[in-house]
Chains A and B, each alone.
Chain A
Amino acid sequence: MSMSDPAHPEDATTTPPLDAVDGRTSDELLRVEDLTVSFPTDDGLVQAVRGVSYSVREREVLGIVGESGSGKSVSSMALMGLLPKSARVTGSVYFRGRDVLQLREKHQRALRGSRIAMIFQDPMTALNPVYSIGDQLAEAVLSHHTMPRKKALDRAAEMLDMVGIPQARERLRNYPHEFSGGMRQRVMIAMAVINNPDIIIADEPTTALDVTVQAQILETLIEVKDAVNAAIIMITHDLGVIAGIADRTLVMYAGKPVEVAETGPMFANPRMPYTAGLMGSIPSLEDSTNERLRPIKGTPPSLISLPIGCAFEPRCPLSTAECLETEPPLTETDKPDHVAACHHWQKLAAVDDPTAYFRTESEVGR
């Protein structure tokens, strides 16, 4: 092992000429191509991610939604190289033109926490209980920069202050158990941005929190992202979280993207029944008919034995024989940058309220 070559992120990211690898738009930061992840288990091969492609531009917010188990976390962990050893990963993840998955472990590590940062779902367990907050934040800085510990702690205090933790300097000495859940998630946000990353992957950052603090945390996250000029991949199972903040949204189902579009148009005109179903499941304020929340009936398919046709077919109100036989590819719909994987997207386009397909029988009969 060479000791004279400290794995500085600067070295790692500047080695290849920026954006020179291909001729794509220069503000494209991250491009995921045909990513698949599977896990061999006793019961068979779990195909957790089955071909995910997307790109993220500088400072953009990309939302990824889907029910739990749809492969959102696994696909994002694959980008970070955080999957267990048993995972089989294929495909490519280009970060500023370089394929992260092909990098040597050392260079991959240099990106982690420095250029690509991550925030996890459960702040109660994401911090090490035996080290102080200051230690854990300083460690994040020191693992990528050579500087005195005191300066790293200064940086940590500055970050805590930025995410809205009062008396930041004093609180550096506190341990995680002395913080509330919301405060811990703020610490996690501070840790994510402490090295000025280019992209932050936020995996359900508010799901484990009290409803009352969810909005505050989201707001903090967006503020901080703007402060450090980072892009965000916002993963959630809650369309409500995406609605306000994501520029574009990717909907995942059974390990695959089933619809990708700008958030506004997608919410207005979903082109895939699953998206419509998800939207039907958020109660809207304008809806005066006092209808109840309608979760989509049924459960996602087993990732070990997937159907040959559309994975959503058993739960889809629009399904036909064609859906049973062939899997719909992700294709352009009525707008070029609105892609969806459904044989019958036109049917959704033809009705005023696509979510109506998911009304229960009794409601339909009324």
Chain B
Amino acid sequence: MAVFILRRFIISTFTLLAASFVVYFGVSISGDPFEDLRGIQDEGDAQIQIAARRELLQLDVPVPLRWFNWLTGIFRGDFGLNIRNQDVSALLSNAAAATMQMVIVATVLAIVLGVTVGIVSALRQYSGFDYSLTFAAFLFYSLPVFWVAVMLKQYAAIEFNNWLRDPTISPTVTVVVALLAAVAWQALIGGDRQRRLVVSITSFASTAAVLVFFSTTRWFADPGFGTIVVGVMSVISAVVATYLTAGFRHRPPLQAAGATAVAGVGFYLVGGPILAEPSAWTLLGLFVLGIGAALGIGAGLGGIHRRQAMSASALTAVLVSGVIFMDQLLQAYERFFGLVRGRPISTVGSATPGFTGNFWEVGLDSISHLMLPTVALLLISFAVYTRYTRASMLEVMNQDYIRTARAKGLTERTVVMRHGFRNALIPVTTLMAFDFGAVIGGAVITEQVFGWQGMGTLFIRGLNEVDPNPVMAFFVVAGGSIVVFNMIADIAYAYLDPRIRLS
């Protein structure tokens, strides 16, 4: 397996090297690097500037040699100077962090949401849910990214911020949203007519109730969970985690997950001081500790079902951590809201200039900047993952070994999760490698719409000015991360498929 991955890594490094030459060459010959200087009135001044730029860009050196010089520079960590004599490395380090954050968040969300929705869609083939999703997926990959981005900017940011001045929900909106929820839930849960009716009514009523509650308490003006909601969500987490990992046939997994949820809420109640002003490392440490404790609880309470109990409680710990994290973020909302002068959803840049605050406030600020570009970026990838996973799952559920699993008398849950899902993921890993590049391409565009000074700007400006070094800096980071992501995909593939792992 190590050999397989190493081989792939070496091949992709060399491929990247070859591609870098093509890109360098392309940018170098793509136009006239003196275009902006041609307009200068003073003949002599123009001559001097042109000469200086010729020197700076080494235009007298043949392109392949220039590429080689650039390449040797890279290995020393030197990305060269741009056409304005600025150090590209410095420009890059600012730009890369913001862009990669967006790209990684979008990719991870697209994978998690796309795979989940794709699986459900396959299991509910030919249902209303499946048809709506199919249509949504087609719509998403027929949408120009920047068109969506501009729309989100207008409606989800500017108008949403305006609405927040008086966050009440009109009865019409309440009814429409509740109706949509009813349709969605009954399609998702399925079953016979009576069950669908019950589900519809329940979800209509509860959605409407929640919206009315939000509206009358002006929840959106200062959103927050409070202890009760955290408690309820933790319990739900335990049940969901148990269902997904172990099922309810035996008690111990549910008990372990429940104990984990209780422990999580307990920590939430007493751990306030630690959570108030944490560093990222503290939080990470707490998270790891929490998972460890959950595994311990699982092992302790699991008995002969130890394996399942451990995975149920570990998953519970992850979900409960998420709930507590959200809660803490929302607790910081009020101060953040004041700091951004009542316009929480940002439309420009990747952070509010000069914003300072504790971990949660800074976190809210970057979320408010990341949210819309990420959504715009997400849609296509989400659609691709959904369709691909759905197809893969349908294919797998038609395989003979699924029939064997059913013939053994396994529950449908086990058949789907253990035998179907696991196998359906294998082809999805190959998609991961392809899609990551597409997301980076999309990021170039979303960044422009939302005015980020990210890598996309480096690329576009460099390309327009016939300035190879910034473009190449973009290329190195983009290409490098694609190679790394490919490796992750390969490892996931090998992990999932013993035929690769053992060869």
CB–CB A149/B496 < 8 A: no
CB–CB B404/A128 < 8 A: yes
Q: Determine whether A143 belongs to the interface, using a CB cutoff of 8 Å to chain B.
A: yes
Using Cβ atoms and an 8 Å threshold, which residues of chain B touch A126?
400-401, 403-404
A112 to B406, CA, bound (A): 8
A188 to B408, CA, bound (A): 11
Using Cβ atoms and an 8 Å threshold, which residues of chain B touch A9?
409
CB–CB B419/A3 < 8 A: no
Minimal Cβ-Cβ distance residue in B for A2:
B248
Q: Determine whether A290 belongs to the interface, using a CB cutoff of 8 Å to chain B.
A: no
A122 to B404, CA, bound (A): 11
Q: Encode B398-431 as 1/0 by CB contact (under 8 A) with A.
A: 0111011111111100100011001100100000
A80 to B408, CA, bound (A): 10
Q: Determine whether B38 belongs to the interface, using a CB cutoff of 8 Å to chain A.
A: no
Q: Determine whether A288 belongs to the interface, using a CB cutoff of 8 Å to chain B.
A: no
Using Cβ atoms and an 8 Å threshold, which residues of chain B touch A82?
403, 406-407
Using Cβ atoms and an 8 Å threshold, which residues of chain A touch B304?
146-149
From B251, B405, B426, B502, A3 is in contact (CB under 8 Å) with B251
Minimal Cβ-Cβ distance residue in B for A1:
B248
Q: Determine whether B254 belongs to the interface, using a CB cutoff of 8 Å to chain A.
A: yes
CB–CB A129/B411 < 8 A: no
CB–CB A113/B401 < 8 A: no
CB–CB A3/B248 < 8 A: yes
Using Cβ atoms and an 8 Å threshold, which residues of chain B touch A140?
408-409
What's the dominant secondary structure at chain B's contact region? helix
Q: Determine whether B307 belongs to the interface, using a CB cutoff of 8 Å to chain A.
A: yes
CB–CB B408/A128 < 8 A: no
Using Cβ atoms and an 8 Å threshold, which residues of chain A touch B406?
80, 82, 112
A137 shortest CB reach to chain B, Å: 10
Q: A125-B399, A148-B304 given as contacts; is B408 within 8 A of A191 (CB)?
A: yes
Across chains A and B, the number of contacting residue pairs, with CB separation under 8 Å, is 89
Q: Encode A118-149 as 1/0 by CB contact (under 8 A) with B.
A: 10101001111110100000011001101111
CB–CB A144/B399 < 8 A: no
A140 to B422, CA, bound (A): 18
CB–CB B422/A111 < 8 A: no
Q: A125-B399, A128-B419 given as contacts; is B409 within 8 A of A113 (CB)?
A: yes
Using Cβ atoms and an 8 Å threshold, which residues of chain A touch B408?
112-113, 139-140, 143, 191
Q: Determine whether B341 belongs to the interface, using a CB cutoff of 8 Å to chain A.
A: no
CB–CB A146/B407 < 8 A: no
Minimal Cβ-Cβ distance residue in B for A188:
B404
Minimal Cβ-Cβ distance residue in B for A4:
B251
A110 to B249, CA, bound (A): 12
A30 to B423, CA, bound (A): 35
CB–CB A120/B409 < 8 A: no
Chain B residues in contact with chain A, CB under 8 A?
A: 248-251, 254, 304, 307, 399-401, 403-411, 414, 418-419, 422-423, 426, 496-499, 502
Residue contacts A-B, CB under 8 angstroms, 6 given: A109-B410, A112-B409, A117-B407, A120-B404, A126-B404, A129-B497
Q: A1-B248, A143-B409 are in contact. List 9 more A-B contacts (CB 8 A).
A: A3-B248, A3-B249, A82-B406, A112-B407, A113-B409, A144-B409, A146-B304, A148-B304, A177-B499
